[in-house]
């Protein structure tokens, strides 16, 4: 069952804060000099300002309006820093509703991107997988070769900014596909099983459970 709420999921309450608050808090805690470009759905700017208002380090966050697709939203965010980010700057692109991301994963992505240019977190597929053909038949796929992709997808700025000069294509499902089509190799890194994407009411319950069982504030672990 999907969420069913008219409010974007990043603004739903999780304990005493919006989902987005936990995401922002973790990134702000990961690095003291990290700056955030928050891409917000049109019409929800005030909700985003309220979420930012809870942040002690709110001055490190700037806000831009998103686009019609993920690609266009990311490009809007990148335009905010184009011309000011150096070629060695590391850029994270993260789903705001992945509120259980850890500072450790953020740091590991950063360190790998510095070394090889990119870090895309993935986890193993735990379920059996079948490929369905156009006639309704199916066949099994070796799940050991399947990886579930997460965020933050992390890139050196010269790679990501250059890739986002391309025109939009239907094949662009995430930042990694854009970078690959632009001619760059994508390097994977181990993600976290708890780094879930809030999509259903059950996901909110899972997130509440994990937050309740962390020591201190979960994002600071």
Q: Residue 43: exposed, middle, or buried by beta-carbon count in 10 A (0-12, 13-18, 19+)? A: exposed
Does 214 map to a domain?
yes
Nearest to 96 by CA among 178, 9, 17: 9
Whether residue 185 contacts residue 115, with contact meaning beta carbons closer than 8 Å, is answered with no
Yes or no: say if 157 and 88 are a contact pair by the CB < 8 Å rule.
yes
CATH number for the domain spanning 49: value is 3.90.550.10
Euclidean distance between CA atoms 211 and 64, whole angstroms: 29
CA–CA separation, 218 and 198 (whole Å): 16
Q: Which residues contact 193 (CB under 8 A, 6 or more apart)?
A: 123
Number of domains in the chain: 1
- Please tell me the predicted confidence (pLDDT) of residue 38: 97
How many residues are present in the chain? Answer: 221
Residue 1 domain flag: no
Burial class (CB in 10 A: 0-12, 13-18, 19+), 24: buried
Q: Which domain holds residue 61?
A: 9-220
The pLDDT of residue 136 is 84
Question: What sign for the dihedral angle of Cα 200, 69, 27, 162?
Answer: positive
State the pairing for strand pair 36-40/147-149. unpaired
What residues contact residue 162 under an 8 Å CB cut-off, 6+ apart? Answer: 182
Neighbouring-strand partners of residue 63: 38
How many other β-carbons are positioned within 10 Å of the β-carbon of residue 45?
14
Per-residue pLDDT of the chain (221 residues; tens, 9 = 90+): 455 567 899 999 999 899 999 999 999 999 999 999 999 999 999 999 988 886 666 689 999 999 999 999 999 999 999 999 999 999 999 999 999 999 999 999 999 999 999 999 999 999 999 999 888 899 999 999 999 999 999 999 999 999 999 999 999 999 999 999 999 999 999 999 999 999 999 999 999 999 988 754 443 33
Q: Return the pLDDT at 34.
A: 96
The confidence score (pLDDT) of residue 1 equals 47
Predicted confidence at residue 6, as pLDDT, reads 77
What's this model's pTM, rounded to 2 decimal places? 0.91
Within a domain: residue 4?
Answer: no
Residue 2 lies inside a defined structural domain of this protein: no
Q: Is residue 15 part of a domain?
A: yes
Residue 83 lies in a domain: yes
Residue 178 in domain: yes
């Amino acid at each position: 069952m999907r969420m069913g709420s008219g409010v974007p999921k990043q603004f739903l309450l999780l304990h005493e804060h919006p989902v987005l608050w936990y995401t922002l808090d973790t990134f702000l805690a990961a690095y003291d000099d990290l700056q955030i470009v928050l891409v917000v759905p049109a019409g929800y700017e005030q909700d985003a300002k309220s979420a930012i208002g809870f942040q002690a380090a709110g001055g490190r966050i700037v806000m831009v309006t998103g686009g019609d697709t993920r690609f266009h939203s990311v490009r809007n965010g990148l335009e905010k820093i184009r011309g000011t980010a150096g070629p060695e700057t590391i850029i994270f692109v993260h789903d705001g509703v992945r509120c259980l991301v850890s500072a450790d994963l953020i740091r590991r992505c950063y360190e790998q991107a510095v070394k090889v240019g990119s870090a895309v977190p993935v986890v193993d597929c735990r379920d059996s997988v079948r490929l369905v053909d156009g006639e309704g038949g199916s066949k099994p796929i070796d799940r050991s070769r399947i990886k579930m992709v997460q965020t933050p997808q992390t890139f050196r700025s010269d790679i990501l900014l250059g890739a986002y000069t391309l025109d939009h294509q239907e094949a662009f499902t995430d930042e990694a596909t854009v970078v690959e089509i632009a001619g760059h190799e994508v390097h994977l890194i181990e993600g976290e099983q708890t780094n879930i994407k809030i999509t259903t009411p059950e996901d909110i319950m899972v997130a509440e459970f994990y937050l309740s069982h962390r020591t201190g504030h979960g994002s600071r672990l």
